Amino acid sequence: MNTDDSFPITLAFPPQGHFTQPYLALPCLKAWLHQGGHRDVELRDISVEAYEHFLSPDYLDYARNRAAASLETERLENPAEGELDFENMRAWRAAVETEVSADALIDTIDDAKKVMRGPDSFDPEKYVPAARALYHGLRVVSAAHSPSELTPHNFTMRYANDRSEEVLAATLDEKENPFIKFYAEHVLPGLIKRKPRVLGLSIIYGSQLIPALTLGRMVKEALPDCHVTAGGGFLAYIGRKLTQAPNMDICLDSIIFHEGEGPILALCDALKASKPGEIVDLSDIGGMTWFDRRGELKVTDNGLTHPVKLDQAPVPDFRGLPFDLYFSPEIVIPYDINRGCYYGECAFCTLPTVIGPGYRTRKADTIAKHVTDLRDHYKTTHFNFITDCMPPGMIRDLPEALIESKANITWWSDARVEPKAYDEKGAKRLYDSGCRKLLFGYETATPRLLKMMKKGQSLKATAQVAENCNNAGISVTWYTMVGFPSETREEARATLAFIQANSPAVREVSLQTFHIDEVAETYHRPEQFGIKILNDDDADLQLYHDYEASTGMTQQEAAEMFEEMMAGLRESLPLFGGDNIFYFMQKSHYFLQLAAGSTPDQFVERCAQRKTKRAAREAHPNLVPAPGLRLRDLPFAYTQVIETLSHPLARAARPDFLTGRFVSDAEEQARKALSGAPRTRSVLAYDGENHEFLELSPDARKLIGALDQAGSLGALLDTLNPDAPETGRTREKLTAFSRELHRNGLLAVKNSSDPKVTPNPQSTPSHA
């Protein structure tokens, strides 16, 4: 065992991952390295560090100026043909949104982050505007690096992440890759000072690939003695392709596959025994592929290694992670109760293959002991149990262990439909142990598709389990799929109808279009599913594949059906309606509402009250333009542009949300099929308090200006000639118009004791 502390190791989670809670992989590795004698292990969540940096007044000001210089709004708004064509719509939207929102976001972004990280997050009146501010702030960041897009859920560039040549080009593009400047100024100096001998990068998602390789390249240039290794779920799929790609050795020294505990300990031991700069033979380290630089460069694959005995693994070590930076009012700790899947039969699922060999679990007593240790050390009672699904025995044993140990926690996790385990008594026991939310694989309402998927469950059982959990107080989410091979539009609509029929037992739905990856049974035996795989010979990092189906919907038709189903979910499920969707989209935020004592029905009612209060606003005599209101004249209809960009063809022209890859020829298809936006006069308004974009008519702008000049609605109405024959009708129109603007947040009631309530609405210059 190595016990010398003079071997610095840095384990980093690179952008982009969601910013609401820490990720589990690196704390598991740190605990294992500590157990193996390596004490100098630093954890860096560089993803949340980046979000904190980008969502700051200084960076938003920088991004606003950079966007103005690069997006060329005047050129976009004065096209020779007179209309705004599809090719320029995204850039134009980014430009005008940035112009009208940047000042308000710069002024309020720190307050928004404070809301998201504090008790005000539990108040929908404050939470929703704060969430919008974060989203809109990231739009300003994206505009500065257009056409790249950074959101709380994704990062994409115009470079395809399934082509190594484009991936490497993206790591050098200082204009469109925002992380180059961020790393150079805020990450690399600290690493150079620390001089880690090993830098481990955890790449769980495809959205992390370019940012991670960008960091790897920069570290290898600055610290040639640092061994840069990478692992994580996404590399379990494409890692070997990545090591075979030309010139990838400039970014990495090795890739670790599946579980990282054993390989990274062996790697650190081997490098520790060597001198800095010495080329070491690493061929005895199982579970790793590495660039062998002894002589002519070659790639060496060391084969698999033995899985970790999970019940003997130490409690994850989160020390060093920036808990104060996560965008959450309370920290939710992830903890893996098992690895792999005890069922492991679903035809579309690949997780049992890539997460590591075999299914293993911790004992219920071990879980309870670790959870109470984590609870006490990190002063939180909230947990996300990481599991593909709990076996029936664990569904029984774990609640009992948590209750007997007086853990007094709340938790949520994924689950599999097990009717006997999730009966009324079992669901009640789960709730008593702290369970507040479960996510089940429902997929489809078509029995023949369930059989093709090898789900091993019935619709009756799925509905009954949801009902039992809901009655116990546990909020249920259904994972749902559209576009599985041979599925028809009618069958997809039946899936939606079944969800609607089972509301409110089902509170949320995670809907995804079907994708084929190279590990799934659907890829290896396509003839059984009536499909033909379409390979792309130029995509040397390809994981996901297009396909042609002999029956049922095409991929494009499935994308269209996705939009139809989402519209139905928004109408039927209160948590998907309007602004409530933010609670679903922000990982753990809805769960924390439940953990705080709200039932699902109570939470829905609190959200509804916000909408009801806005709808009840009247045309008060003291109405004035709302604080922070910004207006901009437009030569094109903003709403029409948004609708065009939301079309399935337009969405396909961007990298896919789930896979991060480009659909072949999608941009050209969208350009041909989607019409441009003709010239028209309108106004884009930004409500700087509620952080909403609204398109107005020129008459609405005139009214806002008149209110500002008069000092209030009452004063404006007093200017009307009482003897004029049209005065009564004009008064009614102005009053109704003002009421509507008030309900949309663009007007506010003036408080004479607060002079800050009535600033003039700021207007950006018009290029119309």
Give CA–CA dist 550/486, Å, rounded: 7
Model confidence over 703-761: pLDDT tens digits? 999 999 999 999 999 999 888 888 889 999 999 999 999 999 999 998 744 433 334 45
Share of the chain above pLDDT 90, in %: 77
pLDDT of the residue at 132: 96
Q: Are 177 and 148 in contact (CB under 8 A)?
A: yes
pLDDT tens-digit map of 196-248: 999 999 999 999 999 999 999 999 999 999 999 999 999 999 999 999 999 99
Domain boundaries, the chain: 9-48+161-301, 52-160, 331-511+569-594, 623-764
Mean pLDDT of the chain: 92
CA-nearest of 580, 440, 443 to 506 is 440
Query: What percentage of the chain reaches a pLDDT higher than 70?
Result: 95
Q: Which of 630, 576, 566, 651 is nearest to 607 (CA)?
A: 576
Which range (12-16, 402-406, 586-590) has the least confidence? 586-590
Report pLDDT digits (tens) over 15-30. Answer: 999 999 999 999 999 9
d(CA 580, CA 668): 35
Query: φ and ψ at 503, to 5 degrees?
Result: -85, 140
Asked if domains 9-48+161-301 and 331-511+569-594 share a fold, the reply is no
Question: Model confidence over 311-362: pLDDT tens digits?
Answer: 889 999 999 999 999 999 999 999 999 988 888 788 888 776 677 667 889 9
Interior angle at CA 287, CA 285 and CA 289, nearest 5: 80
pLDDT (mean) for 579-592: 90
Among candidate residues 429, 496, 493, 440, the one with its CA nearest the CA of residue 466: 440
* Closest residue by Cα to residue 540 from 254, 238, 297: 238
Architecture of domain 9-48+161-301 in this structure: 3-Layer(aba) Sandwich (3.40)
Does residue 765 carry a pLDDT above 50? no
Mean pLDDT of 134-150: 96
Cβ pair 530, 449 in contact under 8 A:
no
Band of residue 2 on the pLDDT scale cut at 50, 70, 90 = very low
Q: CATH number of 331-511+569-594: 3.30.450.20, 3.10.20.90, 3.40.50.2000, 3.20.20.70? A: 3.20.20.70
* Tens of pLDDT, residues 260-287: 999 999 999 999 999 888 899 999 999 9
Rounded mean pLDDT of 103-109?
A: 97
If residue 49 lies in a helix (H) or strand (E), which one and from where to where? Answer: helix 46-54
What is the spatial distance between Cα 468 and Cα 476, in angstroms, rounded to a whole number?
10
Bigger pLDDT: 416 vs 669:
416
